[in-house]
A and B are shown apart, each in its own frame.
Chain A
Amino acid sequence: MAKMNLLQAINSALDVAMAKNDKVSVFGEDVGHFGGVFRATSGLQQKYGRSRCFNTPLVEQGIIGFANGLAAQGSFPVAEIQFGDYIFPAFDQIVNETAKFRYRSGNEFNVGGLTIRTPYGGGIHGGHYHSQSPEAYFAHTPGLKIVVPRNPYQAKGLLLSAIFDPNPVLFLEPKRLYRAAVGEVPEEEYTLPIGKAEVVQEGTDITVVGWGAQVEVIERAAELAKKDGVSVEIIDLRSILPWDVDTVAQSVMKTGRMVVSQEAPHTMAFGSEVAATIQEKCFLYLESPVMRASGLDTPYPLAHEKEYFSDHLKTYEMIKRSLNY
């Protein structure tokens, strides 16, 4: 075990994967010698050489197109998109190519070796274009897996699973926690399951569901609720696609109430899918409607970041509304 922040845990996962299999390569803008703008790939070029850790030209659609080809050839490319906000030029490659590669060919070809890493989310004064949470766009795409870790331990275990998962994985890293989240992380290889949620805190009165950096927000909201005598069950989805319906449904059948807390704008955020499914599965167990604490339906603002954000207080208020319904 070693104390690592989330970036160091990512770096450690990449290091372990590259040491384990020489078909693993990492690339993206400024990823090479410099080690990436956040330094997630720091030291990897020096250790594994320029052919396995390298800069690409500044062209996101090219990075993912290239990665699709490399994965189809049998490699395990780990492509970095510098910010989730800049992934959209690659939307076609991800949605029309990555996600459909196996299906459209009848499994003659696949890009299962591909992992796309990208930092997402706000809270760093990033304004419109360094703050977005784009998971819902991609969650609408059969063929992709989407994983979001909440802390360093989760990040390393889930990233190692993602890299060697036989399906393409979009791995969204909560950039607000890159240096802020520190925890004990094994230095050796370990994996955590994709598609499996985790009950982070057991409780009896209400279930609050989130993923990524929002889990920390939910924990703070649960602390406030605890002072009111409310016992909150916290679930970290960890995977957006496929997502663990059973774990959430079982919890809600126990507590009878649910809030989804999410960073993304309210309308059509992934929480809408969670809410719809849980109402189908748990209707007769629900004491109140499923509620959502989300960002506003605005572009991500700079000066009003705090006001936009679905913080612990808004999440706490949503918990109260659910209980007092």
Chain B
Amino acid sequence: MATQMAKDPQKTAVTTELQVISGNALDIPMYQLLKEDGTVHKGVKLPEIGKELALKMFSTMQFIRILDERMIAAQRQGRISFYLSSLGEEAAAIGSAAALKFEDMIMGQYREQGALAFRGFTIDQFMNQLFSNELDLGKGRQMPVHYGCADLNFMTISSPLGTQIPQATGYAYGQKQSGEKTCTLCYFGEGAASEGDFHAGLNMAAVFKVPVIFFCRNNGYAISTPANEQFAGDGIAPRAVGYGMKAIRVDGNDIFAVYQAVQEARRLAVEENEPVLIEAMSYRMAGHSTSDDPSGYRSKEEEEARRKREPMIRFRNWLVKQGWISEEEADAQMQQHKEEVLAALKRAETVAAPHVDEIIVDVYDEPTQALKDQLEALKAHIRQYPDAYPATSGGVK
């Protein structure tokens, strides 16, 4: 514990000069290795990412891009109820996940499907969740995009914002106690950083010195509220200093810079029990979800200007220049992802809804008597009105 490091009010240095510290005293630049055109800044040494890993990262980016675009369309067609895309933020999720060890826990907000795909979540697993069918690991209980997978060390997502932040501190405390050399990485947006749980989780992590990386995706918007109406001052990263925590601000659209930042944060977390706050600067190219239309709160000009800085073209240009992939190969790969996404979508659509018996399972480790009674009453009711409950009446005999 860090009590000996903390500021003792009795030992504060004295000054006779009235000092008013500026709220903008910290003005942290953004760490960037790849320029927007995909060329490398002069004199910069890129992290050692081999061809195989680089191509895996790129393929995952392309897959997520097409998944997001296709599922927004599927929602528009009424095939799924809701969708949250990560368009424009793929490098932040995939670059960070790539810098972790597989054993590290990831706790997401809901815009980090790239990290989950990088870990190996299959296209069918994505689709089964999106269609809330009986093969969904979450048993069809949560809205689309609330993924989770114990085998992939990816904590199931919940809708309330920021709740995962103090949980990440607790999870990492357990990792430290058990002596594993692992950490927890916790994603959230700059809007969620206004929640009380952000303060709670970061302060506790700093006091307890646990191996956790707080990864803030500053994408400029919380639904319609722009960042300049969310907070004053220099954003999220400087807040770490108030907690006595290390901070990094990185270009979230530069996959190399993200990778390098998380790699260093992981070293600090695991080797030195230093929690780290990373603020990745990006832009949410789509709406918050399929339930809002960005034209109501921002201009096309703004979107066009920001689109030029998007992360996938930048990485692709670098890969092509490097000779690790050709333009034709990249296009063909995208086409293949598209076909696979469409095929998986069609498969998931035809899978049945979870059986009605599942409705009382997992409230507790075993259903209580009251739950069993309620299920029996429900099934009797469905038998009486089978046409009113078409998703489950077939399974109720």
Contacts from A to B (Cβ < 8 Å): 25, 50-52, 54, 56-57, 59, 61-62, 64-75, 77, 89, 92-93, 96-97, 100-110, 112, 142-143, 145, 166-167, 195, 242, 245-246
Contacts and interface: CB of A to CB of B under 8 A. Distances in A.
Contact of A59 (B1, B142, B168, B200): B200
B368 interface: yes
Interface string B180-212: 000010000000000011011101100100000
Most buried by B among A59, A89, A96, A105: A105
A73 B368 contact: no
B166 A62 contact: yes
Contact of B148 (A57, A64, A96, A109): A109
B158 A96 contact: yes
A241 B200 CA distance: 29
A59 B204 CA distance: 9
Candidate in B137, B201, B362, B364 with the most chain A CB atoms within 10 angstroms: B364
The 3 closest A-B pairs by CB, nearest first: A65-B166, A69-B170, A62-B200
B158 A104 contact: yes
A167 B203 contact: no
A106 B139 contact: yes
B163 to A, nearest CB: 5
A90 to B, nearest CB: 9
Contacts of B256: none
B171 A70 contact: yes
Given A104-B142, A106-B141, A167 B365 contact: yes
Contact of A106 (B136, B175, B365): B136
A108 B156 contact: yes
A66 B166 contact: yes
A318 B369 CA distance: 31
A68 B149 contact: no
Interface string B350-374: 0000000000011111001110000
B200 A73 contact: no
A145 B170 CA distance: 21
A66 B136 contact: no
A107 B370 CA distance: 20
A66 B170 contact: yes
B171 A72 contact: yes
B110 interface: no
Contacts of B365: 102, 110, 112, 166-167
B146 interface: yes
29 contacts: A50-B1, A54-B1, A57-B204, A59-B203, A61-B197, A62-B200, A62-B201, A62-B203, A65-B167, A65-B169, A65-B197, A66-B167, A67-B170, A71-B170, A72-B170, A73-B171, A75-B174, A89-B196, A96-B158, A97-B163, A97-B167, A106-B136, A106-B137, A108-B138, A109-B156, A143-B364, A145-B364, A245-B369, A245-B370
> Of residues B138, B158, B171, B172, which shows the largest number of chain A Cβ atoms within 10 Å of its Cβ?
B171
Interface string B155-179: 1101010010111111111110110
B204 to A, nearest CB: 5
Contacts of A245: 369-370
A39 to B, nearest CB: 21
B368 A108 contact: no
Nearest to A79: B170
A101 B1 CA distance: 29
A50 B139 CA distance: 40
B132 to A, nearest CB: 11
Contacts of A65: 163, 165-167, 169-170, 197, 200-201
B5 interface: no
B346 to A, nearest CB: 23
Given A68-B166, A242-B370, A246-B369, 13 more contacts: A59-B200, A61-B196, A62-B169, A73-B173, A75-B174, A92-B160, A93-B166, A97-B160, A97-B163, A102-B362, A102-B363, A104-B146, A106-B156
Contacts of A50: 1
B1 A103 contact: no
B166 A69 contact: yes
Contacts of A102: 362-365
Contacts of A52: 177
A264 B363 CA distance: 27
Interface string B3-36: 0000000000000000000000000000000000
